[in-house]
Homo-oligomer: A and B are copies of this chain.
Amino acid sequence: MSKFWSSLARQVNPYIPGEQLNDETIIKLNTNENPYPPSNQVIQAIDKESKNLRLYPSPTIDELRSEIGNMYGLSQDHIFIGNGSDEVLAFSFMAFFEPGKRIKYPEITYSFYPVYAKLFNISFEQIQLNDDYTIPVEHFYDSDGGLIFPNPNAPTGIYLELEEIKRIIENNPNHVVIIDEAYIDFAKESAVSLIDTFPNLLVIQTMSKSRSLAGLRIGFAIGNPELINGLERIKNSFNSYTVDRLAIAGAIEAIKDNKYFQQTTSKIIESRSYLEKQLEARHFDILPSQANFLLVSHKEVNAEILYQKLKKQGILVRYFQKPGLENFLRISIGTPEQIDKLLKKIDHIIKPSP
C-alpha cells in the first residue's frame, strides 16, 4: 500500500492469470491456448505489414470489422474490436453497467467479472449454479442492472441452448445482456443470430482460442450499432489505438482462412472426445464440455495433489483455489501427442506401482 495510490488502486482485487512459464519443455494445458499454430496466411500478413510500423494503426479498424461482420451476415457497424476480449469486457462494464444497479453473473464463472465489478464500482449478485453445474435460467430474469455469463460457461465448459438464452434476454428487455463467447467456436451455435431481434444483446468473442492468436490480443463484440457506438465512446475516451497494425493485419487473415480454422477446430473437438473417454475410463468425473478444455475431478485423488504431481512431471493444468472448485482441474485440449503424454503421467500418479 502506498500513500500515493488512489482509493481505487487500494480497493481493487486484481485478476491472477494462469501460470505462464518460460520453459518450452513443459506441456502447457493450463490457459486454454490452441495447440496448433495460427494459419500461415496470418504469419505472411504480419510479415508484410511490419514495414508500416512507423504509422499509427487505423483508429476505426474498418477492414477487420467488415471481415468479421461478413462472417455473420452483419455490417461493420455491428462490430467493435478490442485488445483481447478482456479489454472488450472492461469497456462493456463501463459502457453498459451502472454503479448502484446490481448486475447478475453465475457464481462459478470467469473470475475476471468480479474484478471488473470492483474496478468500476458495479454491485453484483452471484447466481448459484444448479447441482449439475448448469445455469439456472429463471434466476437471470429481471436483473436490476444487466447480466453477463460465458457460453459455454468457464470453467465448466457447459453450453446453454439458444432457446434458453433467448428466454433470458426476453426477460431483461431494459438491460444489456452480455454473452461472453470466448469458447463458442468449439460449441454448438453462437447467439449472434439473435442480435437482429434483440437490441440489448451483446456477444463478445476472441481470436485467442479458436484462431490460435492468444499472443496477438484480438477480441471483438457483436451487437446492435447503438451498443457498438457506446463501446466506441468509452474506447475513444481511453486509448485511440488499442489494437496494433500487426494484430489487425493478422486478424483479417485469421478470419479469411476459414478452411484452416475449420480443420484445427475439428481436430480439437475430436481430441476433446478422446480425452473425455480416456479420463472416464480412469475414474474421473467430467462435466460435459463444449469448450477447448475439460473440467474434471478424480473419484479418489485430490485435485490439488494431482495438479502438483503433474506439474513436477512437466505438465501444467489449471487448479483454482476457489470455493466450489476445490476438487476440480481444468485441462486444456492439447494435441493427440500431448494428451497421450498427459494420460501416461496420470496413470503413473493414480496407479502407483504395487
Q: Does B56 contact A215, Cβ atoms closer than 8 Å? A: yes
Q: Does B4 contact A227, Cβ atoms closer than 8 Å? A: yes
Q: Does A53 contact B227, Cβ atoms closer than 8 Å? A: no
Any B CB within 8 A of the CB of A234: yes
Copies of this chain: 2
Q: Does A17 contact B59, Cβ atoms closer than 8 Å? A: yes
Any B CB within 8 A of the CB of A36: yes
Give A242's nearest chain B residue, CB to CB: B83
Chain B residues contacting A55 (CB-CB under 8 Å) are 20, 28, 33, 214-215
- CA A240 – CA B238 in complex, angstroms? 17
CB distance from A220 to the nearest CB of B (A): 14
Per-position binary interface string of chain A over residues 214-246, scored 1 when its CB falls under 8 Å from any chain B CB and 0 otherwise: 111100000000110110111011111111111
Q: Does A245 contact B4, Cβ atoms closer than 8 Å? A: no
In-complex Cβ contact of A53 among B3, B53, B86, B215 (8 A)? B215
List A62-93 residues whose CB lies under 8 Å from chain B.
83-84, 86-87, 90
Chain B residues contacting A345 (CB-CB under 8 Å) are none
Q: Does B215 contact A52, Cβ atoms closer than 8 Å? A: yes
Q: Does A20 contact B236, Cβ atoms closer than 8 Å? A: no
CB distance from A188 to the nearest CB of B (A): 24
Q: Which stretch of A113-121, A255-263, A310-318 is in the interface?
A: A113-121
- CA A51 – CA B5 in complex, angstroms? 39
Give chain A's interface secondary structure class: loop
Interfacial residues, chain A to chain B (CB-CB below 8 A)? 2-9, 12-17, 20, 22, 28, 31, 33-38, 42-43, 46-47, 50-59, 83-84, 86-87, 90, 94-98, 115-116, 118-119, 174-176, 199-200, 208, 212-217, 226-227, 229-230, 232-234, 236-247, 250
Chain B residues contacting A230 (CB-CB under 8 Å) are 2, 4-6, 9
CB distance from A185 to the nearest CB of B (A): 15
- CA A5 – CA B230 in complex, angstroms? 6
CB distance from A143 to the nearest CB of B (A): 13
- CA A31 – CA B56 in complex, angstroms? 8
CB distance from A216 to the nearest CB of B (A): 5
CB distance from A45 to the nearest CB of B (A): 10
Q: Does B6 contact A97, Cβ atoms closer than 8 Å? A: yes
- CA A246 – CA B14 in complex, angstroms? 25
Q: Does B237 contact A6, Cβ atoms closer than 8 Å? A: no
Q: Can you list 23 A-B pairs, Cβ within 8 angstroms, ordered by A?
A: A2-B230, A4-B176, A6-B97, A6-B230, A9-B233, A14-B236, A15-B237, A17-B59, A20-B55, A36-B54, A43-B50, A46-B50, A53-B215, A53-B216, A55-B214, A87-B242, A90-B238, A115-B237, A116-B238, A215-B244, A217-B243, A244-B244, A246-B246
Closest CB pairs A-B (n = 8): A14-B236, A215-B245, A2-B226, A53-B215, A86-B239, A54-B212, A12-B237, A119-B237
Chain B residues contacting A5 (CB-CB under 8 Å) are 95-96, 230, 233
CB distance from A134 to the nearest CB of B (A): 28
Q: Does A50 contact B47, Cβ atoms closer than 8 Å? A: yes
Chain B residues contacting A17 (CB-CB under 8 Å) are 56, 59, 240-241
Chain B residues contacting A51 (CB-CB under 8 Å) are 37, 43
Q: Does A239 contact B37, Cβ atoms closer than 8 Å? A: no
